Amino acid sequence: MASHSGTSVHVYGGGIPILVQYMEQHAIFHLQSKDTSYVIHITKQGYPAHLYWGKKIRGVQLRRLLELKERCSFSPSTDLDQLELSLDTLPQEYPAYGNSDFRMPAFQVLLPNGTTVTDLRYESHRIIPGKPGLAGLPAVYTERDDEAETLELILKDEFSGLNVVLSYTAFSDYDAITRSARLVNNGKQTLQLQRAFSMSLDMPNDQFEMLQLSGAWTRERYMHKRKLQPGLQSIESRRGSSSHMQNPFVALLAEGATEDHGDVYGVSLVYSGNFTAGVEVDQFHTSRLFIGLNPFDFGWRLEPGEQFQTPEAVMVHSDQGLGGMSRSFHDLYRSRLIRGTFRDQTRPILINNWEATYFNFNADKIEAIARTGKELGIELFVLDDGWFGKRDGDTTSLGDWFVDRNKLPNGLEDLVSRVRQLDMQFGLWFEPEMISPDSELYRAHPDWCLHVEGHRRTQARHQLVLDLSRADVQEYIVKAVSDILSSAPITYVKWDMNRNMTEVGSDLLPAERQRETAHRYMLGLYQVLERITSAFPNILFESCSGGGGRFDPGMLYYMPQTWTSDNSDAVSRLKIQYGTSIVYPISTMGAHVSAVPNHQVGRMTPLETRGNIALSGNFGYELDLSIIREEEKEIVKAQLKLYKDIRHLVQFGDFYRLLSPFEGNDTAWMFVSKDKKEAFVVYASVLQEPNPPLNRFRLKGLDPERDYKLDGEEAIFGGDELLYAGLSTPQFSGDYASKVYHFRAV
């Protein structure tokens, strides 16, 4: 490892690439990922200034990128010998408030004297091969030191003794820069953190649209764009989770940027709790982009010698539009965020009994559904809610993780054995973070839930939230879940979380630390997940929070897939899955075929279309296959055969969006293998119109020099023809129609 303070020497052996250049003469750091440059300058006063983030540049005259101009007295000069330098106009890397920058600060610390004024200056830096982990937090990782290089800028506030370590990692094979901050109290008195973002940077203009992914339960991650305006535009969650309503991601689209062309700057937070993200446009039309922990109701006591680590922000620039940005996020998250046995494996096709039976089932009914599923070609049966305690409805038993002998008189082991004898895998639903007031656990430990004395304990879905900031609660969850998973050959777990947090307080924290509860909860959850998933490496874990209420990179670090939405209606899923794909790999999305009328929206959608949309994810079924008609079973058999043929493409190929459901009646997307020898296309049309016009749609990502054969047809298509002339838009009869195309190079 090389450690530097005012030096540009790299002492690396073994062919480790230099991804972070330090140009000592000009005090400039130039980070270069695969096709991206990120440039920082340390001013002579010691302030880290942001110079550039975008398409990779050689960096011949980087110092020219910083332009300063003296403004009126309302932007105070920081240095009387350099009047054009004002923190109110300097493009900064981690700005403070109170010492002449009036814009949104990246951090704020309450000092013992009651003020919040700090003045961070550059003290030293280190350049490290590889990428260190973040203590107690999920983060993008490397498997070898030659994959990345990390810059640590050490900044110091002389008055308080606060040090801030800004970490930047550049990757040799991915177009991404990761950022985080570590705040260290090297002083002699207690400090109180009030704000600690993961990243902040100042863009030189405001000619952008801001893209966010927003929605609600059963309509998550819809795309919303707005042109930047003077002032603050932001998103946030105060719900104790990343939430259905907002996702911890924003992107800036430069003027004229489209799906395939133009500059796009995306930032994604590897965190599952309260967050904020957004942009502030100032009076000079510069844009401050930020993301991190939500300062609302947040506080953290930092005793002398202690440190606080922020979550990681992942930054992706693309000069190939939104599609290029998405594929960069997909490649990085699929390979260097997701971990474990299933990272590089295709996922099994499952049948889940929830919408087939809800709480009303017994072992014979479950076996009947599983048997039919096996006959049709399904590989995994998942037993959902209702198998434990006295769980005949949603009013009781969460926390009582022992088998309900009324439903399963011979125990879970017997049911698992019956399913396994069908040559099927067995999976199980849990909701370990919750507790029912009507439960043995609550009667024994009423203090174990989040609560504030003197106030009601607000219930949602008749349940409360366990206080995972407590070590005893963590231990209980680890033991209770582990005991069940050790009792039978279970190969899949669906980990659910069906409410947000209220009365966020902990019995074990003193008054001055109560505002730490929400973040301590997340740290406790991550510790629980780390212990359980490490102890059971051969179990495939899927996260869920009423569907997509916690679809974020933090959860994906522990569980490689997420139930995308509780809404399984195929038409609704067009927007949900399309929006989710802006950031998240298709291999992370659970997508299932359910019954009609759909249980969420009541829509009657053809089985073919329900299957065609669900094929674009980790495929499965949420209906009672034992009672469907024979002709429907033949359709299901065909869907299963097709998915087994193309799931390597869906889960690990490059994803291209062709037609947006947010812009018209038709939706199309496609998957292309990395070697461009195979492609799978999905086209869907919501409502039909009489006497429609003839039209064509173009494919993407193919090799123009190759020829391709369409499965089921003898015709040969040139890759260039498919890319530039396209295919005829299918003509449908009836609403909610769809068609799929499977191409192979010849």
Q: Residue 417 is inside which H or E element, if any?
A: helix 411-420
Do 374 and 387 touch, CB atoms closer than 8 A? no
Residue 610: which of 626, 585, 628 has the closest Cα?
Answer: 628
Name the residue type at position 741.
Y
Give the span between the Cα atoms of 383 and 584, in whole angstroms: 26
Q: Residue 471 is inside which H or E element, if any?
A: helix 471-487
Taking residue 685's Cβ as centre, other Cβ atoms within 10 Å add up to: 24
Catalytic machinery residues: 496, 566
Taking residue 721's Cβ as centre, other Cβ atoms within 10 Å add up to: 17
Q: Using the 8-state DSSP alphabet, how is residue 580 labeled?
A: H
Question: What is the separation, in whole angstroms, between the first and last Cα of the chain?
Answer: 49
Do 300 and 519 touch, CB atoms closer than 8 A? yes
CA 249 to chain centre: 8
Residue 328: which of 398, 251, 386 has the closest Cα?
Answer: 251
Distances (CA, A) of 548 to 410, 425, 451, 457, 568: 34, 25, 25, 25, 12
Give the span between the Cα atoms of 146 and 566, in whole angstroms: 41
Question: Which residues, in sequence order, are CB contacts of 95 under 8 Å at separation 6+?
Answer: 87, 101, 103, 104, 105, 106, 200, 288
Tell me the helix, strand and coil percentages in the chain, rounded to 5. 20, 35, 45
Distances (CA, A) of 537 to 171, 476, 477, 485, 560: 27, 20, 18, 12, 12
Buried b (16+ CB within 10 A) or exposed e, 275-295: bbbbbbbbeeebbbbbbbbbb
Give the span between the Cα atoms of 746 and 744, in whole angstroms: 6
Give the dihedral of Cα atoms 716, 259, 328, 8; nearest 10 deg.
130
Q: What is the CA radius of gyration of the chain?
A: 27
The residue assigned the tokens 């391709």 is: 708
> Three-state SS for 672?
strand
Give the span between the Cα atoms of 305 and 156, in whole angstroms: 14
Give the span between the Cα atoms of 37 and 205, in whole angstroms: 18
**What phi and psi, each to the nearest 5 degrees, are found at residue 443?**
-65, -30
Do 599 and 622 touch, CB atoms closer than 8 A? no
Q: Parallel, antiparallel, or unpaired for β 28-32 and 492-495?
A: unpaired
Name the residue type at position 316.
V
Q: Using the 8-state DSSP alphabet, how is residue 443 labeled?
A: H
Residue 407: which of 394, 426, 391, 420 has the closest Cα?
Answer: 391
Give the span between the Cα atoms of 260 and 470, in whole angstroms: 48
